[in-house]
């Protein structure tokens, strides 16, 4: 993907380059994990022991306290995916080693949620055979492509994310005239491809809720997923997260309303905004310091601009 410098009304192509060393790419990402993936750094070149004789490039803890493995290559290589899958199975069998590393780096209060393990591969490109292989294997893995430019801009794009079929039975309901809303059809398709973490599903968040809350949830879900086809829906135990490289919004479905936690700062929300609360110092499920509580589509309408703002700030 070419990028261009803008000078007045003139465009000039920016030349691509590459990192001199693979370690340079690794160090840059490790020093900016919070900015890029909203993860906390745990360890670099983490040894898997003499028997397995490997070193995991980067270990981290996600914003939802899940283990994160990151592997890098500065050239196209099938070895990257094979290594990552090996380390995925290794860490699942050596949970204690990871938890010790987390507490050593982040403190004894740091907790690890093993309901999901995030594996991230970063390389300039991937062979089509590798993309097909990981799709067939169904491994829980993210493939990210990077481009480094001569003006010191770094471009990251997720080119593949394995999805696990959820147990959700959500369907698209025909409209009165017998035709399905194409936007809802697409949202339904995307929902069917979203990951289920552990045994959590989207429908579990709706159990026992009124028809009004079901409809409002569908409206919010449709809007967020419609922002970008790369947005992923991740059901959790108490909420549903919507993310690209990191969470944009978290939706907690209550009995009479829906709470939305957005990845924004309180200063991003004008004083006097209705249905808003700063929860920076208040314990809550989901990630994000901005809370909106909505109980109708009318109340949700003004929240859309803040969801879009959160999406843009994350770098969607």
Question: What pLDDT digit, counting tens, does each position of 35-81 carry?
Answer: 999 999 999 999 998 777 789 999 999 998 999 999 999 988 888 99
What pLDDT is recorded for position 228? 86
What pLDDT is recorded for position 197? 40
What pLDDT is recorded for position 262? 95
- The 10 Å CB-count burial string (b at 16+, else e) for 32-66 is ebeebbbbbbbbbebebeeeeeeebbbbbbbbbeb
What pLDDT is recorded for position 261? 95
What pLDDT is recorded for position 155? 92
* Span of 42-56, 115-129, 159-173 with lowest mean pLDDT: 159-173
pLDDT bracket for residue 309 (50, 70, 90): very high
What pLDDT is recorded for position 168? 36
Q: Where are the alpha helices (DSSP H) in 107-208?
A: 128-137, 182-192
What pLDDT is recorded for position 256? 92
What pLDDT is recorded for position 195? 42
Q: Are 192 and 166 in contact (CB under 8 A)?
A: yes
Q: Are 60 and 40 in contact (CB under 8 A)?
A: yes
pLDDT in tens, 235-289: 888 899 998 888 999 999 998 999 999 999 999 999 999 999 999 888 888 888 8
Q: Has residue 166 got a pLDDT over 50?
A: no
CA–CA separation, 21 vs 206, rounded Å? 49
Which residues lie across from 65 on neighbouring strands?
none
Q: What is the pTM of this model?
A: 0.67
Q: Has residue 132 got a pLDDT over 90?
A: no
What pLDDT is recorded for position 174? 41
Q: Are 286 and 241 in contact (CB under 8 A)?
A: yes
What pLDDT is recorded for position 208? 84
Q: Are 294 and 275 in contact (CB under 8 A)?
A: yes
Which residues lie across from 253 on neighbouring strands?
258
What pLDDT is recorded for position 12? 92
pLDDT in tens, 170-228: 333 344 444 444 444 454 444 444 443 446 788 888 888 899 999 999 999 999 999 88
309-314 long-range CB contacts below 8 Å, 24 or more apart?
A: 309/262, 309/264, 309/268, 310/248, 310/249, 310/262, 310/263, 310/264, 311/227, 311/228, 311/231, 311/244, 311/248, 313/263, 313/264, 313/268, 314/244, 314/245, 314/246, 314/247, 314/248, 314/263
pLDDT bracket for residue 162 (50, 70, 90): low
Which residues have CB under 8 Å from 186's CB, separation 6+? 225, 226
Residue 103: phi and psi, rounded to 5, are: -65, -35
Q: Has residue 138 got a pLDDT over 80?
A: no
Q: Has residue 26 got a pLDDT over 90?
A: yes
pLDDT in tens, 74-112: 988 888 998 999 999 999 999 999 999 999 999 999 999
């Amino acid at each position: 993907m070419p990028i261009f410098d803008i000078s007045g009304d003139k465009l000039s192509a920016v030349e691509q380059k590459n990192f001199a060393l693979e370690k340079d790419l690794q160090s840059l990402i490790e020093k900016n994990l919070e900015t890029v993936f909203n993860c906390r750094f745990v360890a670099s070149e983490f040894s898997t022991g003499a028997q397995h004789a490997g070193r995991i490039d980067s270990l981290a803890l996600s914003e939802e306290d899940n283990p994160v493995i990151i592997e890098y290559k500065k050239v196209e290589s099938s070895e990257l995916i094979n290594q990552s899958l090996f380390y995925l199975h290794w860490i699942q069998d050596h949970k204690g080693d990871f938890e010790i590393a987390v507490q050593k780096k982040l403190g004894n209060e740091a907790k690890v949620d093993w309901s999901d393990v995030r594996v991230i591969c970063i390389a300039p490109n991937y062979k089509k055979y590798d993309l097909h292989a990981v799709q067939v294997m169904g491994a829980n893995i993210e493939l990210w492509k990077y481009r480094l430019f001569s003006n010191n801009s770094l471009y990251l794009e997720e080119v593949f994310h394995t999805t696990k079929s959820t147990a959700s039975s959500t369907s698209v309901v025909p409209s009165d005239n017998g035709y399905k809303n194409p936007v809802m059809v697409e949202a339904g398709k995307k929902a069917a491809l979203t990951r289920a973490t552990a045994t959590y599903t989207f429908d579990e968040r709706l159990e026992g809720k009124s028809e009004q809350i079901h409809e409002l949830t569908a409206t919010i879900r449709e809007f967020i997923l419609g922002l970008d086809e790369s947005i992923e829906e991740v059901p959790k135990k108490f909420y549903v997260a919507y993310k690209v490289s990191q969470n944009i919004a978290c939706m907690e479905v209550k009995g009479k309303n829906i709470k939305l936690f957005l990845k924004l700062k309180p200063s991003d929300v004008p004083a006097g905004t209705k249905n808003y609360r700063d929860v920076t110092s208040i314990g809550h499920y989901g990630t994000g310091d901005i809370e909106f509580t909505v109980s109708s589509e009318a109340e949700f309408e003004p929240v859309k601009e803040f969801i879009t703002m959160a999406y843009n700030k994350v770098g969607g």
